[in-house]
């Protein structure tokens, strides 16, 4: 009987720790969690991109520390990727799709824009 009670207690403690881990996991559908869910930025210069990223992160991740963004191209799209950390949470990357405002999400040019 004691063995069964101990086994049950250990199992319940293990399930409790898993439940806590699931609460702390980031939402995979959260804006910026992947290139597919990237936050869209329409800016004209890298300085404006930096300001928009800092403003967005301050609003959505208050108290988190952010490393400087790095640009990367994924297919035809340009992304700014920022690694953020917090004392009580695991670090994560936030993706920002950077566009000049001339392209739609599907890559087609906006109506009324002259060809480049």
Can you tell me which residue has the tokens 């069964």? Answer: 4
Extract the tokens encoding 49. Answer: 């991109």
Is residue 111 very low, low, confident or very high in pLDDT (cuts 50, 70, 90)? very low
Torsion of CA 53, 59, 64, 66, to 10 degrees: 10
Mean per-residue pLDDT, 86-110 = 74
* First-residue to last-residue Cα distance in the chain: 79
For residue range 56-76, list pLDDT tens digits in order: 999 999 999 999 999 999 999
How far is the C-alpha of 84 from the C-alpha of 57, rounded, in Å?
9
């Amino acid at each position: 009987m004691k063995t069964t009670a101990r086994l049950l207690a250990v199992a319940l403690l293990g399930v409790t720790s898993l439940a806590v881990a699931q609460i702390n996991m980031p939402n995979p559908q959260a804006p910026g969690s992947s290139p597919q869910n990237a936050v869209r930025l329409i800016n004209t210069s890298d300085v404006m991109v930096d300001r928009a990223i800092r403003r967005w992160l301050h609003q959505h991740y208050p108290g988190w520390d952010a490393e400087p963004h790095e640009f990367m191209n994924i297919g035809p799209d340009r992304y700014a990727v920022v690694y953020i950390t917090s004392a009580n949470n695991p670090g994560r990357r936030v993706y920002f799709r950077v566009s000049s405002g001339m392209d739609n999400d599907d890559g087609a040019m906006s109506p009324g824009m002259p060809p480049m």
